[in-house]
């Protein structure tokens, strides 16, 4: 079993709708969680991190963490074509990041 699991997609989302991405993890000791966005042919860039249970909002993005159920999610509100990318979930353990394989999101006009 992979330590960080994501649905590979593609997740097709109409423009203006909410995209919901999920990530589950196996290491209960993980404390910090990150969402990176990666455009095709580009390197990953950080969207946001979360380390407390609950929701964290940053603009159109909301990260949700539930440590008891071992999942972290990312919501993208009012999805735009520029949000079309692969979204990588990562968790921090022992000073290093463990990445999921990523979920491809396609926002359709």
Phi-psi region of 47 (alpha: psi -120 to 50; beta: other; left: phi over 0): alpha
Does 29 bind other proteins (CB under 8 A)? Our answer is no
Query: What is the distance between the alpha carbons of residues 34 and 7, in angstroms, rounded to a whole number?
Result: 16
Q: Does 53 bind other proteins (CB under 8 A)?
A: no
Q: Which is nearer to other proteins, 34 or 107 (CB)?
A: 34
User: Is 61 near other proteins (CB under 8 A)?
Assistant: no
CB neighbour burial string for 28-43, b if at least 16 within 10 angstroms, e if fewer: eebeebbbbbeeeeee
Alpha-carbon distance of 107 to 109, in angstroms, equals 7
20, 73 contact by CB (below 8 A): yes
Which of 49, 71, 75, 106 binds other proteins (CB under 8 A)? It is 49
Number of residues that bind other proteins (CB under 8 A): 23
Q: Is residue 55 within the footprint of other proteins (CB under 8 A)? A: no
Nearer to other proteins, 42 or 81 (CB): 42
Residues 52 and 72 sit within 8 Å (Cβ to Cβ): no
Residue closer to other proteins (CB basis): 21 or 102? 102
- List residues near other proteins by CB under 8 A: 4, 8, 31-32, 34, 42-46, 49, 51, 88, 90, 92, 95-102
């Amino acid at each position: 079993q992979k330590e960080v699991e994501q649905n590979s997609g593609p997740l097709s989302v109409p423009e203006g709708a909410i995209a919901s991405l999920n990530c589950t993890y196996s290491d209960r000791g993980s404390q910090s969680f990150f969402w990176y966005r990666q455009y095709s042919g580009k390197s990953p860039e950080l969207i946001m991190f979360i380390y407390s249970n609950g929701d964290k909002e940053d603009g159109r993005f909301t990260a949700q963490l539930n440590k008891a159920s071992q999942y972290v999610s990312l919501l993208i509100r009012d999805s735009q074509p520029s949000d079309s990318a692969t979204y990588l979930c990562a968790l921090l353990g022992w000073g290093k990041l463990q990445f999921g394989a990523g979920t491809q999101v396609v926002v359709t006009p």
